[in-house]
Chain A
Amino acid sequence: KAGVTQTPRYLIKTRGQQVTLSCSPISGHRSVSWYQQTPGQGLQFLFEYFSETQRNKGNFPGRFSGRQFSNSRSEMNVSTLELGDSALYLCASSVRDRITDTQYFGPGTRLTVL
């Protein structure tokens, strides 16, 4: 099976702009989670989508939003970009086994805000 794919791999934006990132999960996976990774904060959970519904949300401002489509592909949007939003944004998919929930990560999108 193909792994989790994320597009684009790199983005450069300026403050105040908005950005949309895309994630295609592994075939058959219905859950998609998004994380922000920075050197100082590690992996911070943004939100999780399952069957087009947001099931869980981390402690991020409302500028961060997402959605999931019927084919399980997901997008994440950040509006009114700030310098502090510069980070690696990771998407992870899982089958949604309730006993364990192994997540498989994509390569990430490196966002730089100038």
Chain B
Amino acid sequence: GENVEQHPSTLSVQEGDSAVIKCTYSDSASNYFPWYKQELGKGPQLIIDIRSNVGEKKDQRIAVTLNKTAKHFSLHITETQPEDSAVYFCAASKGSGGYQKVTFGIGTKLQVIP
């Protein structure tokens, strides 16, 4: 089955700096890659996603890049703010037998230091 590895497990950055989280996946059939942000006491919330026919997508301070050949994708957060502090999950999804199978990475705890 699919395996998604996520690095680093923890990340501390100064406010205003950039943060990068990287994920690799094993199944070349995966075609959808969402990123989720989970704040304390809440469920994961989708922040950005990318499909396999796109190499990069940006939404304000957040961007995601996908390298299908290398089977890795990354989340980039620029000009970090204290409210960006949370756990971030990457995921890889593919259609299988008429439904989607989603595999999540282990998560990255991001701390933005004011």
Residues of A participating in the B interface, judged by any CB pair closer than 8 Å: 4, 31, 33, 35, 42-43, 45, 48, 50, 55-56, 90, 92, 94, 96, 98-108
- Partner of B36 from the list A100, A105, A106 (CB cut-off 8 Å) is A105
What's the dominant secondary structure at chain B's contact region? strand
Question: A42-B104, A42-B107, A55-B99 in contact; A102/B41 too (CB < 8 A)?
Answer: no
| A56–chain B nearest beta-carbon distance, Å | 6
User: Is the pair A104, B102 in contact by a Cβ cutoff of 8 Å?
Assistant: no
Q: Size range of the interface on B?
A: 20 to 34
Query: How far is it, in angstroms, between the C-alpha of A56 and the C-alpha of B97 when the chains are bound?
Result: 10
> In the complex, what residues of B have CB within 8 A of residue A105's CB?
36, 43-45
User: Is the pair A90, B99 in contact by a Cβ cutoff of 8 Å?
Assistant: no
Query: How far is it, in angstroms, between the C-alpha of A96 and the C-alpha of B93 when the chains are bound?
Result: 13
> In the complex, what residues of A have CB within 8 A of residue B41's CB?
107
| A85–chain B nearest beta-carbon distance, Å | 19
> In the complex, what residues of B have CB within 8 A of residue A35's CB?
104
Query: How far is it, in angstroms, between the C-alpha of A90 and the C-alpha of B81 when the chains are bound?
Result: 27
Query: How far is it, in angstroms, between the C-alpha of A67 and the C-alpha of B89 when the chains are bound?
Result: 27
User: Is the pair B43, A43 in contact by a Cβ cutoff of 8 Å?
Assistant: no
Question: A42-B104, A100-B32, A101-B102 in contact; A107/B44 too (CB < 8 A)?
Answer: no
8 Å CB interface, B17-42 against A: 32, 34, 36, 41-42
